Amino acid sequence: MRAARTIVAGLLRPALRPTALLAAGLSLAALVAINLTVRSLGGDVHALSLGRVSDRVQAVLLLGAHAIGCSGEVAEPQAAVRTAALRHGISPRLALAVARTESSFVHTRISSTGAMGLMQLMPETARELGVSDPFDVQDNAEGGVRYLAQLLAMYRGDARRAVAAYNAGMGRVPVRGLASLPAETRTYVGRVFSRL
C-alpha cells in the first residue's frame, strides 16, 4: 500500500511525472508477469499487490521448481495437516482451522505478501523450518504445524495468542490483551476460531 501511495504521490508532482509513470508501469508489468507465471505453473494467486515483490518472486521460483519436480501425485491436504498435528501433539481441529483460513486447502496458493502453500509459509519462515518444497502438501503441512506447535509452546498453550502470532509473526503478540493487535490479525483470529 505504501508503494502505491508513493507512486501516486509521484504522479501528482509534475517534475517527477515521467519517472513515476515509468516506475508505475514497470511495477505493474512485474506484478502481471508474476501472476501469469504463477497461474501457468498451476498455482493460485490470492491477490495483486505492489508490496513484497521480492518474496513473491521467491515464491514463484519455488513454485516453478515444485512444478518441475512434481510427480503428479498430491497428498490429501486435510489428512496431511491432521497427521502433522497428531505428530506434534496439537489439536488437529486447530491445525485444520488455520490451514483452511490460510489457503482454503489450496496447496499452490501464493498470497499477496509471498506466503506459500497450504499453511501459507513466508519464504524465510519455510527455510527456518527446513521446508524444502513449500508447495508439497506434506512438507508444508509438517512445517506449518510445527511452527504452530512452537507458537503454542511459546504462549503456554494459549491458542488465541498462538494463532495471532501465526498471522502477525512470532514475538509480535503481547503477553496480555489482543486488543492492541492490528485489525487484520484480530479478524484472522476470529475466522480461525469460528472454524473450530
The cell for 174 is 503481547
The cell for 60 is 514463484
Kindly compute the dihedral angle of the four CA atoms of residues 121, 122, 123, 129, in this order, to the nearest 10 degrees: -50
Residue 76 annotated to the active site: no
Length of the chain: 196
Which residues are CB-contacts of 157 (< 8 A; sequence separation ≥ 6)?
none
Q: Choose among 109, 8, 138: nearest CA to 101.
A: 109
Task: Name the 3-class secondary structure at 45.
Answer: strand
* Dist. CA 146–CA 150, nearest whole Å: 6
**Distance between start and end Cα atoms, the chain:** 32
Active-site residue, selected from the candidate residues 73, 76, 102, 128: 102
Catalytic residue numbers, as ranges? 102
